[in-house]
Structures are given as structure tokens and as C-alpha cells.
Chains A and B, each alone.
Chain A
Amino acid sequence: MTCNEYRKKLIPWLDGELKSEQAAEMQSWISECSQVRHCVKCRKLTEEFKSFHEVFINIPQPEFPAFLHHRIISEIKNKEAYYHMKAVTSRWKAVPATIAILLSLYFGSLIGVKTFSTQTAANGETSELYSFGDFGAVSTTYENGGLE
């Protein structure tokens, strides 16, 4: 094992995450190898990370306020009720809009019917004029033209 390999595995080793053989190898390397005994940096790193580990483990845990759970749950229920009301209100808002659309269609159709009936009367007059022409001038001209 080299210093680099040792340093790479140092943190998982201190966290107890290495397999037993690997952990034993690390332990024997740092304590027995004559070369390592002179590797100041490896030893310093090991001591530092060990001390971090111990300090972290001993950090006091703050007590969780028990009321907070109920406060969150009740707040969520309130929010849900609010969203439900909002959904219902928005659904009811659609009713006057629908009525307005239906009324506009109704009045639109009334106006349309009135306009359509006026146009029919005008068309009637035109057809009368054409029919007059057919029975009058055109036919007369044809008869008196003497094509035959």
C-alpha cells in the first residue's frame, strides 16, 4: 500500500465502512510499516479525521418540539380546505359565464332571424321582376324578332 492509497481509504476506514480484511490492512500499515512511521502527513491526517469523527459523534442533539408535528398537520389541513373552497368557487364562477354565453347566443339568433326574414322579402321582389321580364319583354322580343 502507498500513502495515496492509504489516504484514499482513510475516511471510509474511520467511518467503519471497509471490509474487515481491508480495515486490518489499513491498521497494520499505519502502525507497523517502518516507512509510514516517518510519514508525518499520513499520521496527521489520521489524527485530524479521527478527532472530527469524535467531535461529530458527541455533538448534542437538540430536542424536537412535539407540538410542531400537529402544527404542520393542522396547517396542511387548513390549506387543503382553502384550496377546496377555491376550487368550488371557481367552479361556480363558470355558471354566470355560461348563462351569459347562452343569452348572447339566444339574442344573436333572434337578431339573425329578423335579418334573414328581411333579406327573403327583398329576394322575393327581385324574383318578381325577373318573372315580369320573362313573361313580358323577353318573350315578346323573341316572338316578334322573326328568327324563324
Chain B
Amino acid sequence: MKPESFEAFLTENERRIYNYILRFVEVGDDANDLVQNVFLAFYERLNDIEDKTALAYLYRMAHNMALNWVKHRKRYLLKAPADFQNISDQSQNYSETDYTILNRALKSLPVKLSTVIHLQYYDNLSYTDIAAKLGISVKAVESLLVRAKKQLRKKILKETGGNNVLQNRQTE
């Protein structure tokens, strides 16, 4: 990719990468810093990146950096003893919002599957558009989306003990 086209690429993709990262880190300020780091790292490797696969590369960088950040935060986050009283009982019935469960399931997906889901729902792109953005075939997009949704369904059902809270919410 040429350095001249970087600013246009940034303008086109900064929102979607911000949304993607925010799902992992959940704090706006941290997401800002991470987005900045992702684009800086991307810029440093600009000469090695092809235009065709640039977005897939960017998503992979964002995914890895966000996961590292989450791991780092887990390791060093200090909790006050009083906080332990507020930890929820894992055995109780689920009363979390659907988005929390959904986000957790999305976070645990591999980067390729997570990327196609993000492009489809957060950017409202069709299979053809996703294929063009990621530099892969439409068939590959379809296969990735099917796998992603099946995995999501499994994870959500497992987490909610076989009770599809998403479905319940819709029918309420």
C-alpha cells in the first residue's frame, strides 16, 4: 500500500475498527488508545501490505492487540476486597443483558469469523461487499459466516444453559 493512500484508508476504516475494539475493551479511552496503536503499527508496515488484503490485515492486528490488552489487564487489575462481595453467583439464572452474552461469545470467536460477523452486522455489508473488502471469494464468505453463526449459537446456548435468551428477548 502506498503512503499517500493511507489517510483515505484511515477515514474509511477507523469507525469499524473502533467499534470492533470497543467490543473487546469496553472502555472508550482504552479503545481510543488501542485504535491509535493499531493504525500506527499498520502504518509502520505499510510497504509490506497489499491493497487487496489490507482490511483483513488490519482486523487481524486489531484483534491481536485487543486480546493482548485484555490479557494484560486481567493480569494486573487489582481488586479491592470489598469488590469480591459484588461478584455474581455463577450458578444463578442468567439475568444479564443479551449484548453482554453476545459480546462475550463474539470475543471468543477466531479472528476470521469475528471479522466477517462484524462486517456483516456493524457495517451492513452484503456477502459480495465483504468478499471484496477482505480479498476472498463470496463462497468463502458464506462458509465463514455459516461457521461463525453456528459457533455463536453453540457458545450462547452453552453459556445460558441451553436457554436461548436472545430468542426470549425477541418474543417478550
Chain A residues with CB under 8 Å of chain B are 11-12, 15, 17, 47-49, 51-52, 54-57, 59, 61-62, 64-65, 68-69, 71-73, 75-76, 79
Report the Cα distance A57→B166, complex, angstroms. 12
Chain B residue with the shortest CB-CB distance to A69:
B14
Report the Cα distance A59→B36, complex, angstroms. 24
Does B39 contact A72, Cβ atoms closer than 8 Å? yes
Closest approach, in angstroms, between the C-beta of A21 and any C-beta of chain B? 18
**With A11-B146, A11-B149, A61-B122 as given contacts, are A71 and B164 in contact (CB-CB < 8 Å)?**
no
Does B10 contact A55, Cβ atoms closer than 8 Å? no
Instruction: Count A/B pairs, Cβ under 8 Å.
Output: 85
Does A52 contact B120, Cβ atoms closer than 8 Å? no
Q: How large is the interface on B (under 10, 10 to 19, 20 to 34, 35 or more residues)?
A: 35 or more
Does B164 contact A48, Cβ atoms closer than 8 Å? yes
Is B35's beta carbon under 8 Å from chain A? yes
What residues on B are CB-neighbors of A52 within 8 Å?
149, 152-153, 166
Would you give 24 A-B contacts (Cβ < 8 Å), ordered by A? Answer: A11-B146, A12-B145, A12-B146, A48-B153, A48-B166, A48-B167, A52-B152, A55-B98, A55-B102, A57-B121, A64-B14, A64-B18, A65-B28, A65-B32, A68-B36, A69-B14, A71-B32, A71-B36, A72-B39, A75-B36, A76-B40, A79-B40, A79-B43, A79-B44
Does A55 contact B126, Cβ atoms closer than 8 Å? no
What residues on B are CB-neighbors of A73 within 8 Å?
7, 10
Closest approach, in angstroms, between the C-beta of B54 and any C-beta of chain A? 16
Is B72's beta carbon under 8 Å from chain A? no
Does B102 contact A15, Cβ atoms closer than 8 Å? no
Report the Cα distance A48→B43, complex, angstroms. 41
Q: Which of A49, A57, A72 has the most CB of B within 10 A?
A: A72
**With A11-B146, A51-B164 as given contacts, are A72 and B22 in contact (CB-CB < 8 Å)?**
no
What residues on B are CB-neighbors of A68 within 8 Å?
14, 18, 32, 35-36
What residues on A are CB-neighbors of B99 within 8 Å?
59
What residues on B are CB-neighbors of A59 within 8 Å?
99, 102, 121-122
Contact with A along B1-43 (1 / 0, CB 8 A): 0000011001100110011001000001000100110011001
What residues on B are CB-neighbors of A72 within 8 Å?
10, 14, 35-36, 39-40
Contact with A along B87-130 (1 / 0, CB 8 A): 00000000000110010000000000000010011100011000
Chain B residue with the shortest CB-CB distance to A62:
B22
Partner of A49, one of B10, B19, B153: B153
